[in-house]
Structure 1
Amino acid sequence: MRKSLLSLALAAAALSGCSLIPDYQRPEAPVAQAYPQGPAYAGAQGVVGGTPAADLNWQSFFNDPQLRRLIDVALENNRDLRVAALNLEAFQAQYRIQRAQLYPAVSADVAGSRQRLPAKVSSTGNEMISSQYGATLGVTAWEIDLFGRLRSLRDQALEQYLASDEARRSTQTALVASVANAYLTLRSDQDQLKLTRDTLATYEKTYALTKRSNEVGVASALDLSQAQTSVESARAALAQYTRLVAQDQNALTLLLGTGVPADLPQGLALDQPILAPIPAGLPSDLLQRRPDILEAEHQLKAANANIGAARAAFFPSISLTANAGSLSPDLSGLFDGGSGTWLFKPSISLPIFNAGSLQASLDLAKVQKNIQVAQYEKAIQTAFSEVADGLAARGTYGDQLAAQRALVDANARYYTLAEKRYRTGVDNYLTLLVAQRSLFSSQQQLITDRLNQLTSEVNLYKALGGGWQDSTAQKQAAQQPKG
């Protein structure tokens, strides 16, 4: 019996190399070999060499200590990231379940029964009580994977696990970028709020001076009304930015998954180097570095493996049930000599007619693979577009900010001159009013432009695949499924 089982196992192992999974060929990237060129990208070439975005951890990219602390808190408490990590554990368990199907499940069974038979149904014509006790060790309905169906399903489960790992990394990348953008938006609105308060104080001072001038007959009622419109406009803006700051804090708290720590370090000002420079690299780098692209490719490989399982379903399915043990009519004699028993029960199932179900399953598997090909190509195109947008932003925001700063300086000089000319009676109040509003508007726009520049750099860092680096221990744990 043992020799028979061993021979069968060796034969199964010899045939187990058969696989009906199609050879995997990575689809060609449906994008250009280089990023766009032109006037919008001229300033984007300033970062040469250096560490690629995907190799630059977020602690090195973000120079602001307050922002780094907030990202740390979010990575510990954010619920979306927690769900992604739990999904990874779920897919890991599914892989282990599927892999276990390749091996026989050995079980030990002990059973006993006693039965009374009345005389009219007894073979002897007399009432009798029969007893039977048994103890066996064996396998039940073990499918011998001659045509690779189970191995195809195992490979599919493995690729889905790897895809879920990339999904977790993609979630972390998005979380890091979202926290950074929420923080920068909050800091920008806080700057806007401070600017509005300062401007309102200036307007109120101007209004008070104009009111006194009106009382002594120097300023007209029109001048006083115009001064009041500036004050009320600034008050409306003050209420607006007060609301935005509160909402920004709420959005940041949601991303953190907990309250904002009270012991945050001092943050950098928006006009300081909050972010480290990063090189753009090549479009081909995205294929190996963007978690969402890697996730799409693993899903494609999973669909490819599923075709192998669908093909294998056309072939016979062979299973084996075998056990050995002892049977006895008396519990005390269960292991006595001569009570040994064994069972060897191979079975084969050959599909003959299934109304096209197997062919439909194969067709479905092929269609699903084509869907995954399209989704993989779309992920590449999206990544390429996001990087190109980021490079266009990098190439133009420097000039835009320089021009906006020059405009603020010019408006400041304009306002100083207009105020002097109005106080000396050379110009009317309308000129001063226009100068005030132009200065306020240009200062607001400068803060907005700086925010847009910073968020575009954060989004470029994310688009290039940065932001998901794990600690060494986490990396090692994520490399292979457990068990």
Structure 2
Amino acid sequence: MKCRFCRIKLLAAILTFLLAGCGTLAPRYTRPASPVPVSWPEGSAYQPAAEGTETRSAAEVGWREFFANEKLRKLMELALENNRDLRVSALKIEKARAQYRIQRADLFPTLSIAGKGSVNRTPASLSTTGKRGTFEEYSVGLGMSSYEFDFFGRVRSLKDQTLEEYFATEEARRSAQITLIAEVATAYQTLAADRERLDLARQTLKSHQATYELTRSRFQAGLATKLEVRQAQTSVDSTLVDIARYTSLTAEDENALRFLVGTDFSSALLPAALDEAVTDLKDIPAGVPSEVLQRRPDILAAEHRLMGANANIGAARAAFFPRITLTASGGFASDALSSLFEGATGTWAFAPRIELPIFNAGRLRAQLKTSKVDRDIYLARYEGAIQGAFREVADALAQRGTIDDQLLAQRSLVEATDESYILSEARFRKGIDSFLNVLDSQRSLYDAQQNLITIRLARLDNFVKLYRVLGGGA
């Protein structure tokens, strides 16, 4: 009884040592230096940074606070609930979490209780005693099978690698959510702009038709040529082409928006025209590149995968060292079920095993080399993600620095062409000027108005893009 108690204490001590865990052979991780400049580009295309004001970063502004349009916010809420790509991203997190738990379970012994019973009838010819007989055997016990002593951190390194993959998957979901919000906003604004272009084309058609009817009447009265009638007709026909094209585009835009949302919704949520009051914020501070880029979820995901690859090197290194596993069991065995737990029926087994690689034709070295190359690949991807993000922000800042000037100049152009059209039409009616100048003024005004819608849309899209590339809060 004393020996059995000693064995129990020894087993408890061994388990305590095992559960205490060991270190790993993975290299110490140090965040790589950022491969981009320490500040954003400067020049005539960029606005100077505001000084003396404290503003929040984009990452601190949630999308519900950023987007002021109630219809748009409702569509975003529906998209977050129903978009299938985002749902897949969420399911991938659940899968990664389960895989981590599976890998982490290898750090602990697996215990199981097993019971067994058998009854055998042996004839006299096969019996050692020369007599036939019936033999019974019953046993029950607690067992641990092939538990690895993680002295060199192989299992722990694999667990760390799986954990980093889980973190990366979570960041990928955040990135997908921010991207989805931006895509819904962009699709919403594109639909609004195309609807406004369609309305403009329809209004312009009325003006062109009126000019065409006037020209035809003048032709019938002998005051205009047939060439002028045909020229007026070309304006009508080209506007009809635009109406058909924008009618198709608005339908496609609506289909794209419904696809992003992932479910049907009321047409009352659709925009009628381009609304410039998408957000109440006046500006989004760019901040310091090193801080902004490290907050972006796609870059955090890339870094977690780099850390996972670094941990995998520890597992490859540990493969060069001995692997010690233990199989043990303890319980009771008897030749009769009624006496299974009586008397000296205790039984136990203790089977440690050590395995040391001697020759494997260079497999282990190749595996270590592969893990190091994988780490270098993920390092290059991480640095590439930072460089790509830096370019995205720089491009968005360059557009922000000039878009207001474009908008101001385009509005001035619309006013000038509108006045030019009015004057040319008045001169034509008085017979002072040719009809060709009227047509040129009409087309110039129509093109200027369409371009104004395009620039207004670009300004709103730039604001949404800035919010996304600066790591806007999800």
Q: Is the contact made by 2:58 and 2:471 (CA closer than 8 Å) also made in structure 1? A: yes
Give, as a single letter, the amino acid of the residue that structure 2 aligns with 1:343.
A
Q: Does 1:116 align with 2:126?
A: no
2:233 aligned residue: 228
1:180 aligned residue: 185
Instruction: Determine which of 316, 331, 339 is the counterpart of 2:337.
Output: 331
1:297 aligned residue: 303
Q: Is the contact made by 2:83 and 2:262 (CA closer than 8 Å) also made in structure 1? A: yes
Comparing 163-172 with 207-216, greater Cα deviation is found at 207-216
| 1-structure distance, mates of 2:453, 2:11 | 78
Q: Secondary structure at the match of 2:121?
A: strand
Q: Is the contact made by 2:196 and 2:274 (CA closer than 8 Å) also made in structure 1? A: no
How many equivalent residue pairs?
A: 467
Q: Secondary structure at the match of 2:432?
A: coil
Q: Is the contact made by 2:196 and 2:273 (CA closer than 8 Å) also made in structure 1? A: no
Instruction: Determine which of 133, 148, 157 is the counterpart of 2:153.
Output: 148
Q: Does 1:352 align with 2:358?
A: yes
Q: Offset at 1:156?
A: 0.7
Q: Secondary structure at the match of 2:46?
A: helix
Q: Secondary structure at the match of 1:41?
A: coil
Deviations along 1:309-365, one digit per CA (max 9) or x if unpaired, are 111111111112222211111122211222111122222111111111111111111
Deviations along 1:411-456, one digit per CA (max 9) or x if unpaired, are 0000000111111111111000000000000000000111112112
Q: Offset at 1:127?
A: 2.9
2:86 aligned residue: 81
> CA distance change for structure 1 residues 359 and 84 in 2, over 3 Å: closer, same or farther?
same
Instruction: Determine which of 396, 409, 417 is the counterpart of 2:415.
Output: 409
Q: Does 1:434 align with 2:435?
A: no
Q: Offset at 1:112?
A: 1.0
Q: Is the contact made by 1:66 and 1:267 (CA closer than 8 Å) also made in structure 2? A: no
1:30 aligned residue: 35
Instruction: Determine which of 315, 320, 324 is the counterpart of 1:309.
Output: 315
> CA distance change for structure 1 residues 349 and 92 in 2, over 3 Å: closer, same or farther?
same
| 2-structure distance, mates of 1:175, 1:447 | 24
Identity among equivalent positions (%) equals 50
Instruction: Determine which of 8, 22, 32 is the counterpart of 2:14.
Output: 8
| 2-structure distance, mates of 1:151, 1:45 | 49
Q: Secondary structure at the match of 1:214?
A: helix
| 1-structure distance, mates of 2:181, 2:138 | 64
Q: Offset at 1:128?
A: 2.9
2:57 aligned residue: 52
Q: Is the contact made by 1:177 and 1:467 (CA closer than 8 Å) also made in structure 2? A: no
| 2-structure distance, mates of 1:46, 1:136 | 75
2:372 aligned residue: 366
Give, as a single letter, the amino acid of the residue that structure 2 aligns with 1:303.
A
Give, as a single letter, the amino acid of the residue that structure 1 aligns with 2:212.
Y
1:196 aligned residue: 201
| 2-structure distance, mates of 1:160, 1:271 | 41
| 1-structure distance, mates of 2:229, 2:50 | 53
Deviations along 1:444-476, one digit per CA (max 9) or x if unpaired, are 0000111112112211211111142xxxxxxxx
Q: Secondary structure at the match of 1:189?
A: helix
Q: Offset at 1:152?
A: 0.7
1:250 aligned residue: 255
1:397 aligned residue: 403
| 2-structure distance, mates of 1:73, 1:13 | 47
| 1-structure distance, mates of 2:140, 2:326 | 19
Comparing 218-227 with 406-415, greater Cα deviation is found at 218-227
1:280 aligned residue: 286
Comparing 120-129 with 311-320, greater Cα deviation is found at 120-129
1:67 aligned residue: 72
Give, as a single letter, the amino acid of the residue that structure 2 aligns with 1:136.
G
Give TM-score, length-normalised by structure 2: 0.95
Q: Secondary structure at the match of 2:353?
A: strand
| 1-structure distance, mates of 2:363, 2:126 | 47
- Name stretches of at least 5 consecutive residues in structure 2 with no aligned partner: 1-6
Give, as a single letter, the amino acid of the residue that structure 1 aligns with 2:316.
A
Q: Does 1:212 align with 2:220?
A: no
1:453 aligned residue: 459
| 1-structure distance, mates of 2:301, 2:378 | 11
Q: Is the contact made by 2:24 and 2:152 (CA closer than 8 Å) also made in structure 1? A: yes
Q: Secondary structure at the match of 1:40?
A: coil
| 1-structure distance, mates of 2:292, 2:128 | 80
Deviations along 1:44-81, one digit per CA (max 9) or x if unpaired, are 75996422111111112112211111111110100000
Q: Offset at 1:125?
A: 2.9
Instruction: Determine which of 96, 111, 128 is the counterpart of 2:101.
Output: 96
Q: Offset at 1:265?
A: 8.3
